[in-house]
Structure 1
Amino acid sequence: MTVNTLPSADIDLEVLLAHRETIADGVVRLAFRRPGGELLPPWAPGAHVDLLLGPGLVRQYSLCGDPGDRSVLEVAVLREHSGRGGSEFVHDVLRTGDRLRIRGPRNNFPLVSADRYLFLAGGIGITPFVPMIAAADESGAEWELYYGGRTRSSMAFAEDLRQKYGDRVTLWPQDRSGLLDVHGILGTAFEDTAVYCCGPEPLLAVAEQACAQLPGLGLHLERFSPKEITGPSTGFDVELARSGLTLAVPDDRSILEVAEDAGVPVLSSCREGTCGTCETPVLAGVPDHRDSLLTADERAANDTMMICVSRACGRKLVLDL
């Protein structure tokens, strides 16, 4: 399954913040509409949008509303006190009636077709699962949600999910129950279950470790922050086929930076290999994948790469830019 998010990356719209409300400790839900009431782009569960909050301040947030309602796009944002300023801007500056631009939606975390799903959410990682669970339930599939958070009051959507779906939703507040028992939960899952996990890095790391020992489970992850990059960075050449340029990429710069300096227009957002905005087709050469997004199969195919962080295994790459 290829990420293939390039077409949606070109959608750039002005939206109006029509409604905002606090839905948990430190979490606000935002509802955006077109100023003229036009329909918003279609999207599917797992999609996110880029909020262009200001110069150099672009952040990605999962859509958590109803894909069938194209009059509104909804996201939920946790205040990150140790973050890079995006969530603080949303909480402290953005107000109902404000206008801003969005890019997307794009979907790097699609809901695959399956008979059984197991959702593991940590904190604000619940947001993409709200529409996913609705879709899984409507399809008639079997599913369970295990949702961990610091405290019950910090867990957005918790009460709504429990009221709507009952015992299929297990709430696991850390102050009462400790950390999610990921190994125990996955150890009782049926083979061929599609496992979806979203949340902080320690949760994702445990899920990866557990599923590596349970090959019958198919694991799907979405990361908020990049994996640690390991290995040396050496220089190489990159040929940009459509632009007719061959550029030298030194060991201390990315393909994205070098392409931008050469005047080649490339969309980008996170610049850390987590959002997929700069995904670029590979025409020749072998990428050194350093993103936190592509699956093992997608990496093995070597037909696409995130040029903000990934590099070359050899001396040259040819890209469709």
Structure 2
Amino acid sequence: MTARRPVADRVDEFVLSSASGEPLPAWSAGSHVDLVAPSGVVRQYSLCPAGAGSYRVVVERRADGRGGSMSVHDDLAVADEAWISVPRNHFALTRALGYVFVAGGIGITPILALIDEARAAGRPWRLLYIGRSRAEMAYADELAAAHPDHVTVHESRVSGRLNLGEALAGLPRGTAVYACGPAAMLDAVADACAPQPAVDSFTERFTAAIADRVPSEEFELSLAMSGVTLTVPEDRTILEALDGAGVVAPSSCREGMCGTCETGVVSGEVDHRDAVLSPAERSENESMMICVSRCTSGRLVLEL
């Protein structure tokens, strides 16, 4: 790590560069990396605009989390080394006539690069940045000062809860709405956009969405490349069943959030339970996140 600074209460910015001095791989707006905290826990962080060849991530210290952010804050210092993955992108900016970005708290991190890309494309855009107080909102003052006609900062402790249904009403056709933040905010964004013609919404979640699903049932799993066939019990995930059978598959978060375990589907109907694939990608039934998603057709064949 080459630099670190606080950017809000309990929120620090970390600049990462290659230990070899070589530029880090190029990335696109909306990308994230896995970072191994000093404690050994792997967490995913969105990439923010940074100098050429470097990465910038922003981490909120969460005492009520699972320990990853606390380890990064407490144990990672300038000049320390940390392992990171190559960037992956499940939140890329689609082509649209205009954009509305909605960020809740630390959800501003992937939005920063998306704003830069929208500006570079010359498309109309605006940002709704929501947080409890300005002191807890990374880059709020900088964004408002740099783009006063495009950025609305909403402090809920001062102004109360923002009605997103009203804030997002009447969007022009061809608008794409990108949102990152707490689940309740993302649900409100989706509800506000759903009835509007030719308005699409895209979200990135901190945790996987909880939805009504069919109960988990046992199913047969076949691996097309290795020829292995096994049973996935109702109380185990595909990834856990593969672990038990000695089959190695890439994984990281094991919560359907990061996309590391995405695996091609040869045949079988998938119950998608991740927060990565879009509705269109799910309907294509060509891949799945094997850490959380399951099979509803009794038999599933994967490209493993």
TM-score by length of 1: 0.91
Q: What one-letter code is carried by the residue in structure 2 that aligns with 1:228?
A: I
**For residue 159 of structure 1, what is the aligned residue in structure 2?**
141
**For residue 25 of structure 1, what is the aligned residue in structure 2?**
9
Q: Once the two structures are aligned, what percentage of the paired residues are identical? A: 46
Structure 1 SS opposite 2:135? helix
Which residues in structure 2 correspond to 1:1-321 (within 5 Å)? 17-54=1-38, 57-66=41-50, 69-228=51-210, 230-321=213-304
Moved more, 277-286 or 221-230: 221-230
Query: How far apart, in 2, do the equivalents of 1:215 and 1:79 lie?
Result: 39
* Contact residue 41 and residue 70 of structure 1 kept, 8 A: no
Name which structure has the greater RCO, CA cutoff 8 Å, separation 6+.
1
Deviation at 1:94, TM superposition (A): 1.1
Deviation track 1:3-42 (CA, whole Å, cap 9, x = no partner) reads: xxxxxxxxxxxxxx11111000110000000112101011
**For residue 14 of structure 1, what is the aligned residue in structure 2?**
none
Structure 2 SS opposite 1:166? coil
Structure 2 SS opposite 1:234? coil
Deviation at 1:275, TM superposition (A): 1.0
* Contact residue 39 and residue 68 of structure 2 kept, 8 A: no
Q: What one-letter code is carried by the residue in structure 1 that aligns with 2:194?
A: A
Paired residues in the alignment total: 303
Deviation at 1:216, TM superposition (A): 2.3
* Contact residue 243 and residue 264 of structure 1 kept, 8 A: no
Query: How far apart, in 2, do the equivalents of 1:180 and 1:103 lie?
Result: 36
Moved more, 246-255 or 208-217: 208-217
Q: Name structure 2 gaps, 5 residues minimum.
A: none
**For residue 7 of structure 1, what is the aligned residue in structure 2?**
none
**For residue 6 of structure 1, what is the aligned residue in structure 2?**
none
Structure 2 SS opposite 1:51? strand
Deviation at 1:54, TM superposition (A): 4.9
C-alpha RMSD of the superposition: 1.3
Query: How far apart, in 2, do the equivalents of 1:146 and 1:124 lie?
Result: 13
* Contact residue 148 and residue 179 of structure 1 kept, 8 A: no
Query: How far apart, in 1, do the equivalents of 2:119 and 2:52 lie?
Result: 21
Deviation track 1:94-136 (CA, whole Å, cap 9, x = no partner) reads: 1111111111200010011122000011000000111111111
Query: How far apart, in 2, do the equivalents of 1:56 and 1:20 lie?
Result: 20
Query: How far apart, in 2, do the equivalents of 1:30 and 1:23 lie?
Result: 10
